[in-house]
Amino acid sequence: MAFGRLSSIIPAAGPVVDLYTGPTNKLTVGKITIGSKNYNPSRIQIGYKDGSIVKYFEYNRYIKYGEVIETENLYIGAGQQLVVRSTETDVNFLFYGQTTNDVINPVRSGILNHTISTGATKQAIYTAPGGSESKVTVSICNLGPDVATVKLGLSDSGLANFDSTEYLDFGFKIGPGQTYTRPDIKLGAGQSLIGFSNPNSKVTFLCHGQLFYEVSGLPTSDDFVVLGNSRFDGNLGVGRSATTKFDVLGDAIITSSAKINSVNYNEDIDNVRNIRSIGISTFTGLLNIKGDLSITSNSPLTLKSKDITLGYSTDTTFNGSISAGSSIVTGIDNIDDLQDGLPLTLTNATGNLNLIGGTKIVSVASSTITLSNSIGGNGSDPNAQFLLGDPTDEMANNGGIVIRGTTNKSILWGTSSNRFNFSHGITLDAGRIQILDASANISIGNTTVITANTVLGRSLIDEIVTANDTTDYIPTATAVTKRTRKVSAEGYFASNSL
């Protein structure tokens, strides 16, 4: 942003010369000071170029030796060219002021309109655009040889409805070559400046000023709009009185990166060492993160929760635009709960549009999703309603925990096997593995190693075998009972024999 002296020049006597051109995407507001060092009176002109034609803020105004003239604020828009002229040498023009951003308003500020009046026909000098509030200045120049009588009004609803109660100035006179300036007139949206002059006159109305819109901040709005950087040396409260440096009551949307930490640096210059302590950030409500979450820390990740839920979703409805034969849904009003793999049904659509069962979301991009099946039927519906289902096993497939290393270490759920798959072995320092379901088993590869009643395919049974043992020397044949006890898998492996 430019501020202060913007341009200055001592032009040669006679020709029109350029003083200043408004920068791109900027509004310039400033004043011109004219000083004469010439003993002869000089006539000066200040205007802007509309193509090759000069239109005037000041026209043939006289300035004497040692005299200083200063204009009211001039509003110069982007690319608009400010020019000056003097009939004598040694007359300097100095333009000072400041520039501001003017990039997002639908109608830009600066020189707004130029009108010539040659009689009593009322003309709309300027009408504030819809949605705007305007602060304008009118520079009125008498280009004719005689004194002109000028009338100026402010209509609430255009030229056709202008009445005698709406005059700002009524019948003031301007001498030949002289200028009358009326600064800082405020117009609401649709309101018009009305002007006209006496018959056989030649009077110009040059309207210049600044427009305000909701997007950039209206003067009558309670909103505070900052188009550039903002700095607050004290506390900032949003929706409440500020009790800490940044205190927000209500929702907050951050569309780019956010860094939340508390940092203290302790520098040891000799050893070139920085010590940094990170404070604690507390979220007391729901934290919904769309996209990747990266946590970089040498400290443990602590969760004070009884469980961790992955693949969570809830039944919800959403609307979008669909067409028969297409698998694309566009213009979705809310994608917060949409995830790849979630099933959905078409619950409401015009005509005979339909969607076969088992359809799932293939991908989500902005306000558009791609489905696993195309919309059936005929026609289209710009506001069809869908019902999002509960999480599916397909969503859970290959879900779990991955620890990055030279090779990945993972615990992932497999839908086809209906099991957790461990990429590496498990060592138990103490305790035991307890399988509560009697139908469950432990396998290595495709081989079932342990079930509730077998180990490596061999049954664990409880039987009593009675036989006459005559193989050893016994005086009397005696019935010998051999008993095999059923043992647990744990006991089996605790023993050293089969």
In the chain, % of residues over pLDDT 90: 50
d(CA 337, CA 286): 14
Q: Is 304 a member of any domain? A: no
Residue 480: is its pLDDT beyond 60? no
Average pLDDT across the chain, whole number: 84
| Shared domain check, 175 and 321 | no
Tell which of 213, 234, 258 closes a domain: 213
Residue 273: is its pLDDT beyond 70? no
Q: Give me the sign of the Cα torsion angle 163, 165, 171, 174.
A: negative
- Sheet bearing 400-403, strands edge to edge: 400-403, 409-414, 419-422
Number of domains in the chain: 4
The confidence band for 355, taking pLDDT boundaries of 50, 70 and 90, is very high
| Shared domain check, 332 and 191 | no
| Shared domain check, 110 and 35 | yes
| Shared domain check, 342 and 454 | no
- pLDDT digit string (tens) for 454-478? 887 777 765 555 555 545 544 554 4
| Shared domain check, 127 and 8 | yes
Residue 53: is its pLDDT beyond 80? yes
Q: Is 388 a member of any domain? A: yes
Residue matched to tokens 């929702």: 251
| Shared domain check, 187 and 331 | no
CATH classification of the domain holding 345: 2.40.10
Q: Is 289 a member of any domain? A: no
The confidence band for 420, taking pLDDT boundaries of 50, 70 and 90, is confident
Measuring CA to CA, which residue among 422, 442, 415, 326 is closest to residue 376?
Answer: 326
The confidence band for 313, taking pLDDT boundaries of 50, 70 and 90, is low
Per-residue exposure over 211-228, b if at least 16 CB sit within 10 Å of its own CB, e if not? bbbeebebeeeeeeeeee
Q: Is 345 a member of any domain? A: yes
3-class secondary-structure state, position 77:
coil
Residue 413: is its pLDDT beyond 80? yes
Contact residues for 150 (Cβ-Cβ < 8 A; gap 6+): 117, 140, 169, 171, 172, 173, 174, 180, 195, 196, 197, 203
Q: How much is the pLDDT for 415?
A: 83
Measuring CA to CA, which residue among 262, 188, 177, 183 is closest to residue 220?
Answer: 188
**CB 27, CB 78: distance < 8 Å:** yes
Measuring CA to CA, which residue among 376, 380, 377 is closest to residue 359?
Answer: 376
Region of 358 please: left (phi>0), alpha (psi -120 to 50) or beta: left
Q: Is 233 a member of any domain? A: no
The confidence band for 305, taking pLDDT boundaries of 50, 70 and 90, is confident
Residue 384: is its pLDDT beyond 80? yes
| Shared domain check, 209 and 80 | yes
| Shared domain check, 337 and 453 | no
| Shared domain check, 448 and 320 | no
Here the tokens at position 243 are 């009790």
Q: Is 337 a member of any domain? A: yes
Tell which of 394, 414, 445 closes a domain: 394
Encode 138-194 in three state secondary structure. EEEEECCCCCEEEEEEEECCCHHHCCHHHEEEEEEEECCCCEEEEEEEEEECCCEEE
Residue range 145-162: average pLDDT? Answer: 95
Tell which of 386, 406, 426 closes a domain: 426
- pLDDT digit string (tens) for 71-83? 999 999 999 999 9
What pTM did the predictor assign?
0.58
| Shared domain check, 441 and 454 | yes
Better-predicted residue by pLDDT, 489 or 211 = 211
| Shared domain check, 438 and 405 | no
Q: Is 331 a member of any domain? A: yes
| Shared domain check, 72 and 50 | yes
Q: Is 244 a member of any domain? A: no
**Domain, as residue range, for 358:** 316-394
